[in-house]
Structure formats: structure tokens, C-alpha cells
Structure 1
Amino acid sequence: MSVRAGLWLPLFDELADPTTLVRLAVEAEEAGWDGFFVWDHVAWRAPIRAVADPWVVLSAAAAVTSRLVLGPMVTPLARRRAVKVARETATLDRLCGGRLVLGVGLGSDRFGGEYSRTGEPVDDRTRAEVLDESLAVLRAAWTGEPVHHDGRHLHVDGIAFHPTPAHGSVPVWVAGFPGTKRPMARAAAHDGFFPVNLTSADQLAEAVAGVSALRQAADRPYDVVVSLDRGLDRAPYIAAGATWLLSDFDPANLTVDMVRGVLREGPVRA
């Protein structure tokens, strides 16, 4: 599998303007990028003030592009309604002709108080349970068959979700810390792994080996997604198993000009 390259953008301040994001998506496709991924947050710590909605941005980007893989990286399902995400993902995947990827994870309260300030559960165990139940609901919903789910946190009684995604399902990439058992097992059960806070290519290789050992459908295409600083050597990470390389941006000093400069340089795949 050839290595693909994507932009990974925080939708903050200058990048909270949806018209700007739409132009960047078009420019990214013209410049040869493979993917256009966006953060999913409702708040962030100061001095960030403006935050855009990822689903609106991705829908607009889907309407003006034809090749880019699109997706939220990552959506913390514990603070979203699984039935609404089921509708959103299928609709967006239809709009973009099957180019959607759903990045998911636990999320964190420490950057903007998105859980504590909105009355959502803060503890990791509860959020992990909601994440797993949400993924079960989504997988069932995408089949088009009536969903019957009676869990500890979620309940769906016989709702069928139509239309279904363009190709019958949506690839799911699971974010998690490398070496932690539960996220790695969750990642192994889906379509990709996005190890966060990587410190080295060796750490990635170890994580890839761990997830590979847990996978039951080893013959199915699987992605390993890595975010890297622009100047970092990609080769060791590719050798360690990365299939997607995302250009990382620091939200603290992010500008449209900075993103456009990286975008116009073109993707680095090696």
C-alpha cells in the first residue's frame, strides 16, 4: 500500500471561517494532497476564541472536491449522540461519494473543559464505555437493518437508518495512546489506528506490532495514521508501518498563511 499524505487542521480562530476552509480544501486537492482532516471541538483554552463545527466544514469541503479523503480527526463520541452521528456520517459519505473516514477517540477535558463545562461524564471509564457502545450503534446503523441496542448508556429500539453510506460502511480510525491495551484492542477491531503523542518511530513499530497481533481480519485493508511535524524525517515512520502521514499544526500560533504555505509545498510522502 502506498503512503498517503493529509492535512490535519484545528478549526480555530483564523481557521474557524468556513469559507476559508472550503478554499483550502480545493487548493489541497489541486496541490495533490490525499486527505483533508479537521479537529472536532466545541471549546479550547485561551487565547483561542473562535471554533468552527467540523461537520459543516466537511460537508462544504465534500461539495467542492472530488478526490480528497475527508474526516474528523478525531470525534469524541462520548459527547455526541450516536444516532445523530449515524445520520451525519451516512449523509456526508453519500455527499462525498464514499470518501469519508470517521476518526474516533475518548477526547479530553483538559484543553477546553468540553465535558465538565457541559455536564458530560469526565471519567475515562465512562467515556470509554460510551465510545464502545456508540461504535456498536454506528456499525449496526450503517447496515440499514433495524438497530436494537440496549446498553448501559445508549438505547436504540428498532430504528433503521437510511440512506446507508455510499459503500455500505464508513472506515473507522481509532485514536489512542500507543501501548495502552484498551485503545489498541479497540483499534484492532476497526479499520485503522491513530497513535497519539508518538515520541519515536520505534514506538510506532511497537504499537503496530501490538495492534497487528490483535487483529482478527488481517487480510482486510488497514491504516496506520501518524501526525508529524513538517521537518521530521518520514522514512522511519513509513518503515514502522505508517500508511497515512498527516501534517501537524500547532493551534497556539496557527494562521491561514502558515497552512497555505505548507499546502502549496505539496505533500511529503517519504
Structure 2
Amino acid sequence: MRSAVWLPLFDELADPAVVVRLAVTAEEHGWDGVFVWDHLRWRPPVEALADPWTTLAAVAARTSSVLLGPMVSALARRRPQVVARQSSTLDRLSGGRLVLGAGLGSDRFGEEFSRFGEEVDDRRRARLLDESLEVLRAAWSGEPVSHHGDACSLDDVTFLPRPVRGTVPIWTAGFPGKQPPLRRAARHDGFVPVNLEHPDQLAQAVAGIHALRDDRRAPYDVAVPLPVTADLAAFEAAGATWWLADVDPHSITVDGLLGIVRDGPFR
């Protein structure tokens, strides 16, 4: 099981220079990935937030081996044609190290949909998410894209340059006990379970995803957010391929994160 530092870009971590320092330290100590939260607003006491794409570009420029990406991005509130350009650019800057985490998002943590006039209905956001992922796959192909839907409208547009490996891995987030997120996850490259409580939940979700996949031999990742105190070996046995080191966004400090990073990843 590989390990990643998972950073909420809030308050002290809203400074990209701080995140770069953490990412460089993580790489030096053997971590496999550095992923960041993607939010426009969060509930108090959080006051400051950073943009994930700009921050990740700085991380990409100062690291050489860790995978990186937004984990996860609520694509329903982002224009897919813009994300296509951002993702390809970041992937090339990093030498092909980008992973795109994608999900529905939620209005309950910071009202970041309702306060900006974005879609608050989960089912409509799910349709926008699936449409956006379809557009991204088409854009990364390097072929002309024509698409007319609710998320965007494209008329014979070619997106070049392509990502380094011709595409970007997509890990989709969702509740492990619900079928629509599992069906979505089976169509892509990885799954990020939300609110996971027990390894048995994970094992059941992983089995459900693999039963739905067209090519069960293709590589597939399951990235599980868990605190450092969790029984990581049990979740690895249940099917996790990545551990995302989960921290409390309201209480974590830079010094606390440096301690986690310097203790090293799960092996």
C-alpha cells in the first residue's frame, strides 16, 4: 500500500510556500504522493484558503517523484474545458505525475455551492460530474471534441498538448454503500471512499467495483483517507492500495504535519 500526504489548503496551509516545503519533505522521507483538498470556502474557524491548481503547480516544480493532484475536486462547479487545459498543463509540468480526484462535493461544510449560486441538488451535480469526466477523457485524447450538454458546449476543439501518458488517472469519490458512486468508480481508475468506518465496508465496496469493471486485469487504485492511528494493515487487507493521511483541518498545524511527514509513510 502506498502512502500520501493529504493537505487541506486552509489557514497556515493557504500559503503555497508552506505546502511546497511539506511536499519536498514528504518526498525526502519516502512518501508516494502529495494530494490537496479543493474548496472555495469552508466553515469557521477556517478563514483563508488557497487555490489547489496554483499550489500544485508550485509543488510539481519542486518535486520529482511524488504523485500529486486535487483530491477531490467537485467538477460540477468547474468548467471542464478549463480543467482540461489545467490538468494537461500540470501533468506535463510534473512529468506525468498528476492524478485527478473527482466527486460531487457537499454544501454542508462551507456552503460553497449555495453561496456562489452553484447547483445544490446532488443528482444534478452527479450528472454534471459524469458529463465533465466524459469531456475530460475526450479532451485528453488529442482528437477534436464536439460536445453539447449542461456542463459545457464545445464545437470541434482540439486540446493540445496531451498529458504525458496520453491521459490522466481519475479517482472518483463516493460513499462505499451506495451503488451510483461504485458504478462511476468502476468506469474510471480509482475509488476514494467517503466516511469509511470499517475494513469490511471497504472490502464489500472493492468487490462491488471489481464486479462492475470491464477489464478486471487493468491496474486499479483504492485510496482510503484514514488517520495515522487507524489499523492501516486491516484496510490494506480489505483492498486499499493507497493511504491518504487524514488530518483535522480545524486543529492541524504545520509543525504537526511536519511531524507526521517525518515519521514516514506506512510500509
1:51 aligned partner:
49
What secondary structure, in the 3-state scheme, does the structure 2 residue paired with 1:252 have? coil
The alignment status of 1:199 with 2:210, answered yes or no, reads: no
1:159 aligned partner:
157
User: CA offsets per residue over residues 103-148 of structure 1, 9 Å max, x none?
Assistant: 0000001111111000111001110111011000000000010111
CA shift at 1:233, angstroms? 1.3
- Structure 2 Cα separation of the partners of residues 140 and 45 of structure 1: 36
Count of residues in Structure 1 that have an aligned counterpart in Structure 2: 267
1:63 aligned partner, one-letter code: A
2:179 aligned partner:
181
**Which residues in structure 2 correspond to 1:184-263 (within 5 Å)?**
184-263=182-261
1:34 aligned partner:
32
- Structure 2 Cα separation of the partners of residues 127 and 187 of structure 1: 16
2:20 aligned partner:
22
Q: CA RMSD in A?
A: 0.7
- Structure 2 Cα separation of the partners of residues 203 and 163 of structure 1: 40
User: CA offsets per residue over residues 71-129 of structure 1, 9 Å max, x none?
Assistant: 10000000001000000000000000000000000000111111100011100111011
1:205 aligned partner, one-letter code: A
User: CA offsets per residue over residues 201-255 of structure 1, 9 Å max, x none?
Assistant: 0000000001011001111100011011101111111111100011101111011
What secondary structure, in the 3-state scheme, does the structure 1 residue paired with 2:136 have? helix
Whether the 8 Å contact between 2:223 and 2:241 is mirrored in structure 1 is yes
Which of 60, 69, 73 does residue 71 from structure 2 map onto? 73
CA shift at 1:151, angstroms? 2.0
What secondary structure, in the 3-state scheme, does the structure 2 residue paired with 1:33 have? coil
2:95 aligned partner:
97
For normalisation by structure 2, the TM-score amounts to 0.99
Which of 138, 141, 150 does residue 140 from structure 1 map onto? 138
1:126 aligned partner, one-letter code: R
- Structure 2 Cα separation of the partners of residues 5 and 152 of structure 1: 37
Whether the 8 Å contact between 2:81 and 2:152 is mirrored in structure 1 is no
1:232 aligned partner, one-letter code: A
- Structure 2 Cα separation of the partners of residues 152 and 40 of structure 1: 22
- Structure 2 Cα separation of the partners of residues 179 and 148 of structure 1: 35
Whether the 8 Å contact between 2:76 and 2:151 is mirrored in structure 1 is no
- Structure 2 Cα separation of the partners of residues 187 and 38 of structure 1: 20
CA shift at 1:43, angstroms? 0.5
Whether the 8 Å contact between 2:80 and 2:151 is mirrored in structure 1 is no
CA shift at 1:162, angstroms? 0.4
Whether the 8 Å contact between 1:188 and 1:214 is mirrored in structure 2 is yes
Which of 106, 109, 114 does residue 108 from structure 1 map onto? 106
- Structure 2 unpaired stretches of 5+: none
Whether the 8 Å contact between 1:130 and 1:154 is mirrored in structure 2 is no
Which of 122, 125, 130 does residue 124 from structure 1 map onto? 122
- Structure 2 Cα separation of the partners of residues 152 and 6 of structure 1: 34
CA shift at 1:153, angstroms? 3.6
What secondary structure, in the 3-state scheme, does the structure 2 residue paired with 1:251 have? coil
Moved more, 148-157 or 92-101: 148-157
Whether the 8 Å contact between 2:132 and 2:151 is mirrored in structure 1 is no
CA shift at 1:4, angstroms? 0.5
- Structure 2 Cα separation of the partners of residues 203 and 218 of structure 1: 20
For normalisation by structure 1, the TM-score amounts to 0.98
User: CA offsets per residue over residues 14-71 of structure 1, 9 Å max, x none?
Assistant: 1111111111111110011000000000100011000011001100000010000001
- Structure 1 Cα separation of the partners of residues 169 and 142 of structure 2: 16
What secondary structure, in the 3-state scheme, does the structure 1 residue paired with 2:222 have? strand
- Structure 1 unpaired stretches of 5+: none
What secondary structure, in the 3-state scheme, does the structure 1 residue paired with 2:34 have? strand
